[in-house]
Structures are given as structure tokens and as C-alpha cells.
Amino acid sequence: MDKKMLTAFIALFAVCAASFHAADIELTTSASTFGLDGGGSFEPFGPGFGFGVSVTDRLLENLDATVSFNRDPVNGNLLSARAAYHTSFLVISAGPSFGVLNSSSDDAVSNLLQPGLGLGFKIVLPGVVVATVDSDFAFPPAATGAGQAYLQRGEVSAGFYLPNVLCTLKASQRSAVETLAGGASILRSTTDYGLYTEAFLKGSPFRISLDFIYRIVEFRDSLVPLNDRSYGNLVLGCGVTWAPKDDLSFFLSGNGALYTFSTDDSAAVVDSFLFDVRLGVRFATKPLAGAK
């Protein structure tokens, strides 16, 4: 990855985001030790770091648009734009997505932009149920070079309300395909199956979350199948959100593997502690004087 080009791209994105009037903005930073190296083992050199920027603006009464950039500490960089149409109970969203300067190493040729598409819908019955299907995927490239990486993500969830608690059953997956010489490829994927809970109390500025997740981390090498790895992880997560005002909130979440094991006896015992952590803020900008 060309770090100078990526830094310039992020700076341009931030300048554009700052020009929005009366927009909802989210800024996050994250770290994870769930990344796999080129041999299918967990990275021994400490966590990978990431961040995200998301800007949402209302275009019409029932239509809003979101532009976001996310550097996943495990998978890579994804830029996306979504238009979302709202009805009384349904939200339908679609828009382009782009992998940005993704490659397996600094020496590999990076694609400046790898085009793709994002699609999703959400069913919302306030106080009863929330269901979501969402995905981003890359289009097959016309030509590939060794070391290039292509991202894909998707999730399906269904949530229901208990007194002062939202419970959500969710399956999600993030994957990256790296091309090798001769048409071979390496697949890295992280698949989560979990129960996610969030407790809240009317009038309180705090929300507390507690998550129970079974995570499968896989490494597939089409050139050398003996390198294939698959790890199962029993993961416990928790988080807190503080909203001192209606247009401002801070959040911190993290999870850790209580137990990690090989699902196919192909991998060695994992001694290191595997974790994710995420910190962020959401706020609404005020319209500038005289802005329409």
C-alpha cells in the first residue's frame, strides 16, 4: 500500500466532510489482533490499527445519503456512498463502494480504486423488531496483479425488544481475496455468529452492551492447500455509549477471545490474547449562518 497516497486521500476526504452543513458525522479508531499473516498464523507483532469517517446528510424528507471511509485493521480500506430511502417501516439503501489502495504488501502493485457495489435494506417496527440485510462486494477485475487484494463484507441480523433491552441475533462476514502469481489466490475471512444485547433506560444518557460471539477465522491458499487454517473463537464483548446531548455521543466497545482452537487440527495452539477494541464519537454539525 502506498501510505503517502492513502494519507493524501484521507486528508481530502476529511476536508470534504467538514464542508457538510447540518450533517451527522461519526469518527472512529480501532485496533485488532485477529489479523492473519502470510502463513495463516495470527500476527505476532502486535495489533493492527484502523479508523473510520462517516458523514450522513438529509437530502429530502424520506431520502438521505451517507459517505464513509473505513480502514479495517484486519481487511483493508473501503470507501462507500449510500443513498437510503425511508418509508414508514422500511429503509432501502444502495450505492457504489470502492476498495482503496489495497494490497498484501508494500512491494505489491496497489489498485487505486477497485469498484464494487453496496446494497441493503432494514425493516424497523419501533419497540418491536429490527431486521437488516446488508453487503458490500467488489466487481471481478478485468486484470489482476500479484499481491492485489479485493474486499467483501455482509451481514444478516434480526433484533427484538425486551423491557429496556434490544437483543439482536446476527451473522456477519468480512473477507479479503489476495491474488498470487499464476492465477492462484489466498482468502482471509472472519465470520461471526452472535447474540448482541444493548441495555438502556429512559432518561439515562448511558447504554450498555454485552455480546456473545462465535468467531471463525479462516485462511485458504489455493496454491498450497497444506497452508489452510481455520480457527474457532469463543468471544465475549462489551461496550458503553454516553450521550450527554441529543446530537452528541461517545462510545467505547471491545471484545476478547475467551478460548481459541483449531477447527480442523491444521493450526498450532494460539498462546496470545486475541481482541478487538473500538472508540468513537458521533455528532451533528450546526448549519452555518446564512446557509440554506
Res. 1: pLDDT tops 50: no
Q: How far apart are CA 77 and CA 97, in angstroms?
A: 11
Highest mean pLDDT among 9-23, 100-114, 269-283: 269-283
Q: How far apart are CA 269 and CA 184, in angstroms?
A: 28
Residue of 33, 27, 1, 10 lying closest to 285 (CA atoms): 27
On whether the CB atoms of residues 63 and 27 are closer than 8 A, the answer is no
Residue of 194, 191, 187 lying closest to 174 (CA atoms): 191
Res. 12: pLDDT tops 60: no
The DSSP bridge pattern shows strands 185-200 and 206-221 to be: antiparallel
Q: Stretch 86-95: mean pLDDT, rounded?
A: 96
Mean pLDDT score across all residues of the chain: 87
Res. 279: pLDDT tops 60: yes
Q: How far apart are CA 244 and CA 63, in angstroms?
A: 27
Give the model's pLDDT for residue 18: 54
Give the model's pLDDT for residue 50: 94
User: What sign has the CA pseudo-torsion 5, 105, 75, 36?
Assistant: negative
**Quick one: fold of 3-284?**
Porin (2.40.160)
pLDDT digits (tens, 9 = 90+) for 170-228: 999 999 988 877 778 889 999 999 999 999 999 999 999 999 999 999 999 888 888 88
C-alpha 176, offset from chain centre: 12
Res. 4: pLDDT tops 70: no
Give the model's pLDDT for residue 291: 44
Give the model's pLDDT for residue 289: 43
Q: Stretch 86-105: mean pLDDT, rounded?
A: 89
Q: Which of 108-117, 218-227, 247-256 has the lowest mean pLDDT?
A: 108-117
* pTM summary value: 0.88
On whether the CB atoms of residues 216 and 249 are closer than 8 A, the answer is no
Query: Which amino acid, residue 7?
Result: T
Query: Which amino acid, residue 231?
Result: Y
Res. 138: pLDDT tops 90: no
Q: Rg of the Cα trace of the chain?
A: 20
On whether the CB atoms of residues 57 and 49 are closer than 8 A, the answer is no
Locate the DSSP E strands across the chain.
24-32, 48-60, 63-71, 77-86, 90-102, 111-125, 129-138, 149-162, 165-179, 185-200, 206-221, 229-245, 248-262, 275-284
Report residue 292's pLDDT band, with 50, 70 and 90 as the boundaries. Answer: very low
Res. 5: pLDDT tops 60: no
Res. 99: pLDDT tops 50: yes
